[in-house]
Each structure stands twice: as C-alpha cells, then as structure tokens.
Amino acid sequence: MTNSPTLKEVAQRAGVHVTTASRALNPATSSLVNPATMRRVQAAARELRYQPNAMARGLKTARSMSVGVLIPDLTNPLFPPIVRGIEDVLASAGYTTLIANTDNDGERQTTLFDTLRARQVDGIIVATAHREDRIFTDAYAEGTKLVLVNRRIDQSDIPAVTGDDHDGIAMAVRHLIDLGHTKIAHIAGPQNTTTGRARLRAYRQSLEDAGVPAEPSLVMMTNGFTEVEGARATRTLLDAGRRPTAIVAANDMIALGCLDVFSERRLSCPQDISLVGFNDMPFIDRLTPPLSTVRVPHYQIGAEAARMLLDRLGNPDLPAKSITLPATLVLRESTAPPS
Amino acid sequence: MTNSPTLKEVAQRAGVHVTTASRALNPATSSLVNPATMRRVQAAARELRYQPNAMARGLKTARSMSVGVLIPDLTNPLFPPIVRGIEDVLASAGYTTLIANTDNDGERQTTLFDTLRARQVDGIIVATAHREDRIFTDAYAEGTKLVLVNRRIDQSDIPAVTGDDHDGIAMAVRHLIDLGHTKIAHIAGPQNTTTGRARLRAYRQSLEDAGVPAEPSLVMMTNGFTEVEGARATRTLLDAGRRPTAIVAANDMIALGCLDVFSERRLSCPQDISLVGFNDMPFIDRLTPPLSTVRVPHYQIGAEAARMLLDRLGNPDLPAKSITLPATLVLRESTAPPS
DNA sequence: AGGCTTGCTGCAATCGTTTTCCGCCCCGGA
DNA sequence: TCCGGGGCGGAAAACGATTGCAGCAAGCCT
C-alpha cells in the first residue's frame, strides 16, 4: 500500500545482486547460492519484512498462484463448506482463492468468468454449471483449467467432483417405500442442471425398481433450487388432486419451501406427510421437524476438486477423471409411515 | 492459461502502436486518440476477445484492484451476508475480493494478512479484530488501508462499521424485564473482542438502569462465539445454584449452545427459561423455538464497510470515520414471562 | 603449468502494461 | 511563405520479479 520493500532493497542490504537475492529466497534455486550468502540474504529479507510482489512474480512466471471459484450464492448454506474445502487445500499449496457469486445469472456468470481470466487465475472451479454451458466447454477446449463441483455438463469430459445423486435419491425413495408409502411425490430441481435431472431420473427409476407405478402428476418442476420455488411447486402439487403421502425434494432449500407450505396448509410433518431433502446442509437438522435428508460430503467435494485441479496444474496432460463421492441417508424426524 | 491475446496483438491487428491501443481501450485516456482509431482498436480487441492482463497492469499502476477480507470462518452463517455486502459493492466498482479464513488462530491470521499484502491488495476489511491487535494498528499506522467490520479495536482510529451492540442488548434486557424477569443471566462473548465486552457492559448497564440488582454468578464467560462454548457456559451456569429465568446470549451461536443444554436438561424454552440471541443470523428463525434475537444488518455492514474503503482508496487522507448501524429487537417465540 | 571443471555470482532480457516525453503533420493566422 | 500550436501517435522507460547466459575465481587433473 505504501512502500513495501522490493527485492532490490533486500539485495542492497545484503550486499549482493538482486539476482542472487532472488535465488537465495527461492527454495527451488537456493542450492545455487553459497549457504553463507543465503543466510545473509534471508536475514536482510526478514529485517525488512520483505514480501515478494505477487503481481511482478506472476507476470514473469505466467502463474498467478490463484484460482477462481464460481458459485451461485455464498449465502446459500450449501456453498460455504464446499468453498472451505477448496480453500483449505488450495491455501496449503500456496494458492489464493477468488470467489465470485453468479446469482444464477448467465450474463453475470460470463462477466465474472472473464474477470477471473483477466486476473490470470491458474484454474477455475465451477459450481454453477448447467447441462449445456458452452462458455465452459469452449474455455476448457481452449486449455483453461477447469474442475466442476456438484454439477456436471452433459457430454463433456471436464473433470468433475460430485455427490452420488442417483444413489442418494434411491436410498430416500427406498426408505419411504419401506415405510409403506406409495404416493411419493418429487419436487424436481431445474432440468437444465445435471443434478436436477439425475435426481428426477433416480426417483423414477427407484419407483420402477420397486414396482410402484409412476404418476406423472406427482412430479413438479422448479426453476431453481430455492425455497420460494420449492414452495410454489408444493402448492400446485397439493392443489392438484391426488395428494401424496410423502415428498422427495430435489434439495434442502426446496424442502424448506415444502415445510413452509405444510404450515400454511396446517399439515403436520411427518404425521400428515413425510419429507426427505437432499444435501444435509448446515442447520437443516435443527428445523421443526429435523429434516431427514441425503448427506453429501460437501467439504470433501470441495477439497477433492481442489486437489484435482492442483494435480492438473502440475501435470497439464493428466487424463480427465471425474469423481463421485458417496451419499448417505440420514434419518431424522421428517419421515413416518403413512397414516 | 494458454495464450490470451496481448495488447500488442490487438495493436498489430488494428495497425497501431501498442501505446495507442492502450489509450484507446482506457476510458480515461481514450480522448487522446482519434475516434476512428479508437473504434478500430476496440473492434480488434473485441474480435480477439482481449482481456487486459491484470497482473501487468497492477504491476505498472501499483494498484491491484483487489481487496482482502479477513473473517474467522466462512461456514459460520454470520459471515456470508457480510461478505456478500462487501463483494457486491466492491465488484460494482471493479474490485475483486480475496477472502481468507483465520479460524480464530492468531498465527494463521498473521500469515494470511501477509499473504494478502503480498498480493498487493489495495485494502483489507477485517472482521477478526481483537481489542488489542497490534498487527492491525501497526499496519494501519504504516498506511495500510483498513476497515474493521463487526468488531473494533480499543483506542484506535481505524475506521469501523459495526452494529449497535449496546442498544441491541439494552433492548433485549429491557424486553425480558418487561416480561417480568429479574434473574436474567448473560453468556458473555470473549472479552478480548469489543463485541464481547460491549455486550456484557450493556447487559450490566441495562440491569442497573432498570434497578435490577446485578448478580455476578449470572454472568458466564466464553472463549469464543461458538455453540460448544455456549453449551459449556450454560451447563456451568445451570449447575451453579441460583437458576436464571432468562438468558441473554452474546450471540446466536452461543444461543444455539444454550438450546442444546436446555434439551439435555429437559428444560423447555420459553416455558421454563427464556432466551434471546444476537445477530439474527440466517435460519435462526426456523429453530425450535424460533429464536428471539437482536437483528443486525449484516449485509449493510459489509456494504457500508466496502463503500468506506472505496472512499478512502479514492481519497487517502479522508478523516477516519466509524459508523454504527442500528440494531432492532426481533421477537419470536423463545421468550415468555417467568413461570 | 596450463586447461577444465565446479561453484558461485552478476548482467541483461523479459513478462504485459501504463505513462512521460517527443515528434510529426496539418491547419490557420500573420 | 513562414511560424506556432493543436491533435495524434510513437519511442522508450519504467513496475518488480525470474532466468538463460556469461564471467570469474578456485581447485583438480594431467
């Protein structure tokens, strides 16, 4: 901000050339300099509280030692754990994380993506992908280092780290069937995301596998993984004739919307209707009732994605691999046998 | 990542010198170049999808157009709203935000602070300050642009944006007294933070103002604004003789700990004991019971802090001003008259 | 004793911008 | 016709680091 010391000043103080100072301070090259000199330089650096100028270094080395993270919205409790997972492993590798909130706005997303690239980030972790996001596939094809979290992109080999949507939903549906439910509804997430679609498919498949006839009227679509969308869909679901005895929500935010409508309609959960969410996001266990949901290891997803990115930064032509982390069903108090 | 086009390439394509290209693309200097030339350059830039290299620019201009944000932990729901407030106003001014989590670890904080400075951030917003944090006062004295949020530093003129701790607690205590409580306890926050101390003081003051005798045994200290600390303090509070009929928690996380202990002890809230939190953090309204708490406008605090930083960046010798944003008491279902 | 390696250090170019200082061209006024 | 000046655009020097290359001394070998 004011006058941070430069390498030149360190060199002068140590009585050596700036080149030598550079080498002495860099672990990779410090073997090239006399140990005694090295100590002198390091002492000088310490006294001056020298911090290398990251921009100058980045300019020369063409690596910024930073990575961007694109998420919809930080205030959605789903994302902080993912971000922390990312930050923790990235930070320990010396990288800085730049977070950008797209608010599910495509234009904003493009702008932010460009901003990140202008900042010369070494790679980008994307949590906002839609099934067909040319912006990402194009960038990836041109060599931008990308890793997807949570959601994937159709027919793309961009590496991704996700939870097991299919298995998670399967467990949830199975659980409801085991309780005796047959009229099981699904409030589906946006179908332009792989998560929204995979969960819907898993719901249908699970019903079929159990021999429970599918009823199209029990599936409601939403335009976003949000509480208001969840509430809207739940209202139209309940208004339409055949009332379900259980609902599988595409995620916890949507489930929150379900609960809102339940109390509007004076339906008690789980006595009148059962509900299962997805994600096990923070605080969802403290609701009334504590929500049964599918737990996805978000911190690990973030951490794994960061590791994957790091790997690919170190070795650019590593084969693109995607990882699916196991989901687990966590039963609390929002499900019960049908009355 | 691969080969982003440089200004030189844009210039070549437009058939002008790189200097001219630079001027044409920069709104501040574009008046120096012929409108026709400018259009040519801009067209070339668009075709090449040119993005100026932020590191090169920053190196030359000594401004990174980025600011750092120091918070304890992103997964604490208190902080995402603050961060969004910061990011939104900063982004609209063209700045990028770098977030760092200190985990309340002093050493880590120092490291991260240095990392941010190495990245040449133009300023830093600090949410982790303790009452005596030499690291910040020293840096501020040396010219580092700082703004404190949420917490302040004793005897320092570093600009700060905070909620009204005193008034908030006063309202909470007043409310309990009005309900008829006299045995009102306080689970105090860490006394090495201004928030922890201000809230404790306000609690004592409010009791005194109302003529309710203070009982030292009704005040419990914690070592952190966390659920486990809150629970620990609540247990020792309840184990010690005179049981309170109401608790004012120093913040919502601590209140969460109180609720945990209430259910351990089979105390129902608010029938057996009333509870008021502080912050009105997300989801605290969906607990059982919905928590009465003091609302602090976190998004605005963040936004205001960012604006303040921006102002001081634009005009370095602006007088240091601190802002206190009003708190409001939001009554829900965790308080009732003593039984 | 001369040549060669080895070990250390310095020189200078470079990364992609911005910015100061000039120079050129053209036009108008005298 | 000449001069002055405005309007544009170019040359070059930074910013602070890294790095290939060269230099130089000392030590070893033959």
Q: Is the per-residue pLDDT at A2 higher than 60?
A: no
Q: Which residues in chain B have Cβ-Cβ distances shorter than 8 Å to A73?
A: 84
Kindly report, residue by residue over B147-170, the tens digit of the pLDDT: 999 999 999 999 999 999 999 999
Distance of CA B156 to CAs B36, B129, B131, B137, Å? 54, 11, 9, 7
DSSP state of A317: T
- Which pLDDT belongs to residue B4? 85
Angle CA A260–A266–A270, to nearest 5: 75
Kindly report, residue by residue over A72-103, the tens digit of the pLDDT: 999 999 999 999 999 999 999 999 999 999 99
Query: pTM, whole model, 2 decimals?
Result: 0.94
Q: Is the per-residue pLDDT at B1 higher than 60?
A: no
pLDDT confidence bin for B129, thresholds 50/70/90:
very high
- The pair phi, psi for residue B280, each rounded to 5°, is 55, 55
More confident residue, A231 or B34: A231
Q: Do B96 and A115 touch (CB under 8 A)?
A: yes
- Which pLDDT belongs to residue B197? 98
Would you tell me which CATH number, out of the four given (3.40.50.2300, 3.40.50.300, 3.40.640.10, 3.20.20.140), belongs to the domain B165-296? 3.40.50.2300
Other C-beta atoms closer than 10 Å to the C-beta of B12 total 15
From CA A41, how far away is CA A31, in angstroms rounded? 13
Kindly report, residue by residue over B87-111, the tens digit of the pLDDT: 999 999 999 999 999 999 999 999 9
Provide the CATH number for the domain formed by A61-162+298-325 in this structure: 3.40.50.2300
Q: How far is B170 from chain A (nearest CA, A)?
A: 28
CA B309 to chain centre: 13
- Could you check whether B61-162+298-325 and B165-296 share the same CATH topology? yes
DSSP state of A292: B
More confident residue, B90 or B3: B90
Q: Once rounded to an integer, what is the mean pLDDT over residues A155-175?
A: 97
DSSP string, B197-260: HHHHHHHHHHHHHTTPPP-GGGEEE-SSSSHHHHHHHHHHHHHSSS--SEEEESSHHHHHHHHH
The type of residue at A92 is: S
Q: Do A118 and B75 touch (CB under 8 A)?
A: no
Q: How is chain B split into domains, by residue range?
A: 7-52, 61-162+298-325, 165-296
SS3 at position A113? helix
Angle CA B120–B121–B122, to nearest 5: 110
CA A194 to chain centre: 13
Residue length, chain A?
A: 339
Of B219, B238, B230, the residue nearest B257 (C-alpha): B230
Report the percent of chain B where pLDDT is more than 70: 99
Q: What is the phi-psi region of residue B320: left when phi exceeds 0, alpha when psi lies from -120 to 50, beta otherwise? A: beta
From CA A117, how far away is CA A127, in angstroms rounded? 17
What's the token pair of residue B326?
Answer: 């009003």
pLDDT confidence bin for B2, thresholds 50/70/90:
low
Q: Which residues in chain B have Cβ-Cβ distances shorter than 8 Å to A287?
A: 286-288
- Which pLDDT belongs to residue A1? 43
CB distance from B99 to chain A under 8 Å? Answer: yes
